[in-house]
Amino acid sequence: MNIFWLTGDLSHLAAIVILLLKIWKTRSCAGISGKGQLLFALVFTTRYLDLLTSFISLYNTSMKLIYIACSYATVYLIYMKFKATYDGNHDTFRVEFLVVPVGGLSFLINHDFSPLEILCTFSIYLESVAILPQLFMISKTGEAETITTHYLFFLGLYRALYLVNSIWRFYFEGCFDLIAVVAGVVQTILYCDFFYLYITKVLKGKKLSLPA
């Protein structure tokens, strides 16, 4: 493990916890895409099936369990506990346009044609685009609460740090996972526009709002 890997994981954890706490403290999931959170729950579920087949480390296992538990808790808060605050009218991204092509691609391009590996590859491809429902929702409403932008920032930062981790591991450990790197680049690119707005607006104390 290197510093980029660890800070990537912690950034990912921060994002998940920020979102969970935001919904819990404000008793509201306004401005949050429930569809996006369903996709992330699907991502964690399909990727971490190896919890049942292999043990890597206590750190690895506990982080996987925390990610899964938090993502399901978030989905529960949005669709059950605080359902009345869920803004379904603005959460209209067609997720089948992501899940179906990504499912097809994971059958075609993977490291090994086995159920577990295909599901894991599916999760990597899906994660790279899973933020689109949330970004789409922000573009529809034209604004985002500041705490939501912090969530998005840490979520985007995590994958950027993982890319640096991939470079590190290529040089110092001689391993390179092309699927993870390409998906990571796609994922990070999708955040670039948001990163720009976050740095130029939110960090200067302004609310993130898009021109009409």
Partner 1 sequence: PPAEGDHDEL
Is the CB of residue 91 less than 8 Å from the CB of residue 33?
yes
Near partner 1 by CB under 8 A: residue from 27, 83, 94, 111:
111
Near partner 1 by CB under 8 A: residue from 125, 136, 162, 194:
162
Is the CB of residue 128 less than 8 Å from the CB of residue 183?
yes
Q: Does 186 bind partner 1 (CB under 8 A)?
A: no
Near partner 1 by CB under 8 A: residue from 180, 183, 202, 208:
180
DSSP annotation of 142 reads: S
Size of the site for partner 1 (CB under 8 A): 22
Could you list the beta-strand ranges (E) of the chain: 143-144, 208-209
Q: Does 173 bind partner 1 (CB under 8 A)?
A: yes
Q: Does 115 bind partner 1 (CB under 8 A)?
A: no
Residue ranges in 41-100 that form contacts with partner 1 under rule CB under 8 A: 47, 50, 54, 56-57, 60, 63-64, 67
Is the CB of residue 163 less than 8 Å from the CB of residue 181?
yes
Residue closer to partner 1, measured from CB, 16 or 29: 16
194: phi then psi, degrees, rounded to nearest 5: -65, -45
Closest CB 186 distance from partner 1, rounded Å: 17
Is the CB of residue 32 less than 8 Å from the CB of residue 155?
no
Q: Does 12 bind partner 1 (CB under 8 A)?
A: yes
**Piece of the chain touching partner 1 by CB under 8 A; list 16-24, 90-98, 174-182, 193-201:** 174-182
**Piece of the chain touching partner 1 by CB under 8 A; list 5-13, 99-107, 133-141, 194-202:** 5-13
Is the CB of residue 41 less than 8 Å from the CB of residue 155?
no
Closest CB 57 distance from partner 1, rounded Å: 8
Is the CB of residue 68 less than 8 Å from the CB of residue 48?
yes
DSSP annotation of 204 reads: G
Closest CB 67 distance from partner 1, rounded Å: 7
For the purposes of burial, counting CB atoms within 10 Å of the CB of 23, is it exposed (0-12), middle (13-18) or buried (19 or more)? buried
Is the CB of residue 143 less than 8 Å from the CB of residue 90?
no
Closest CB 54 distance from partner 1, rounded Å: 7
Q: Does 119 bind partner 1 (CB under 8 A)?
A: no
Q: What distance in Å separates the CA atoms of residue 121 and residue 126, rounded to the nearest whole number?
A: 8
Q: Which residues bind partner 1 (CB under 8 A)?
A: 5, 9, 12, 47, 50, 54, 56-57, 60, 63-64, 67, 111-112, 117, 120, 162, 165, 173-175, 180
